[in-house]
Amino acid sequence: MMAKTNILLNAFDDRWKKYRAQLKICKREFSEEAVHDLRVATRRLLAVLDLLRALDPHPRIQKARRTLKNQLDEFDDLRDVQVMLVDASEEVANFPELKPFEKWLLDREKRLLRKARKQIAESKSSDLEKRVEKIHTSIQENARGRRFQARLLETVDNAYLRAVQAYGQVDASQSATIHRLRIVFKKFRYVVEIAHPFLKGFPESHFERMHEYQSKMGLIQDIEIFLNTLADFGEGTASTSALEAVRRHYEKRHAESLSVYLKEKDEMLTFWRGAPDQSFPWEKKHVPLRRSSRDRGRGGNTRLRRRQPANPDREGTQENGEDRAGVEGIGGEVGSDPDQPVPPRSADGENLEESVPS
């Protein structure tokens, strides 16, 4: 069994190796899949850096984090466009008036892919490598401290407190409040995935439940991004009236997704202890843990699986395993939550690799 004091160090080293490997692959064989894998590897590395920053707020950690976060932000528009393309290709058979919008998205995707290829080709990691070496050493030193485990759990407590505060501010009529909760909940979720080996009796079902809870909030945001982009497109092409039926369809989907989330909103309060001196939910035998919605039948919004947060990956807590839990930065903005690969588009969709000149 891996020593608990090595968990954070091994997680950091594994994520750094994966990040470097994915960056090399993306430079050598640029593709949509390679860009996605680089994004995921970047998020995984940011996970540990955010946790380390809470334990040891050294400037070098903040500088390393800023470098990675800036790189990640460069791909946000591309990811949003690709998600919208998947949706448009699924709906165009029912709404032929979406075809011009789909073509507009394809053209925009080509431009963003060319930009991404150039940014990746020009990226340098020498300064980041030097900081990573020093961070590795600092982890070894901090892990020897007597209060290391206590400080780690304090970090999770604080992350959960921020999520509970955002939860208390959720207003169904103000979707921005749900998106703020999604941002802070995502950080809490990923910190738990890293720290859970320190928790006796932690239930594996918690990972799937947190994953699904986050995905419900993310779907609401995805539909809003689609509606806003569609409105901008309509204004620029005088197609507003032609797209009215499409707009009503997506507004209905948005209302349905919001309803699904609000029905299970209170599940947020079952993921962690309310205060450091309280028991964890899984320690209270009289409080049954909710089953994953995947075990409750096929009811509900089937579109939830179209785009979800990265699946929980706990292998890194085992010896010689790979720890892939990720955390985004602490100051993240209200935006999309792109962690999953974009599903294949319809048969008439364009090959993205061919659309980007070498």
Q: Which two tokens stand for residue 122?
A: 């020009």
Looking at per-residue pLDDT, the higher value among 316 and 53 belongs to 53
Looking at per-residue pLDDT, the higher value among 288 and 247 belongs to 247
Rounded distance, CA 85 to CA 179, Å? 22
- On average, the pLDDT of the chain sits at 81
Domain ranges of the chain: 1-145, 148-303
The residue with tokens 């894998």 is 37
Q: What is the pTM of this model?
A: 0.76
Q: In this model, does residue 330 exceed pLDDT 70? A: no
334-347 pLDDT per residue, tens: 445 544 445 545 44
**Residues 6 or more apart in contact with residue 263 via CB below 8 angstroms:** none
Tell me which of 3.40.50.970, 3.40.1160.10, 3.30.1120.10, 1.40.20.10 is the CATH number of domain 1-145. Answer: 1.40.20.10
Rounded distance, CA 68 to CA 62, Å? 10
Rounded distance, CA 85 to CA 78, Å? 11
- Amino acid sitting at position 110: K
74-122 pLDDT per residue, tens: 999 999 999 999 999 999 999 999 999 999 999 999 999 999 999 999 8
Looking at per-residue pLDDT, the higher value among 325 and 9 belongs to 9
The residue with tokens 């990956």 is 313
Whole-number pLDDT of residue 237: 65
Q: In this model, does residue 19 exceed pLDDT 90? A: yes
Query: Of 85, 65, 239, 55, nearest to 154 (Cα)?
Result: 55
Whole-number pLDDT of residue 90: 94
- Amino acid sitting at position 215: S
Query: Of 326, 310, 318, 312, nearest to 12 (Cα)?
Result: 326
Cβ proximity of 22 and 41 under 8 Å: yes
252-291 pLDDT per residue, tens: 999 999 999 999 999 999 999 999 999 999 988 654 445 4
Looking at per-residue pLDDT, the higher value among 118 and 332 belongs to 118
Mean pLDDT of 146-153: 82
Whole-number pLDDT of residue 238: 57
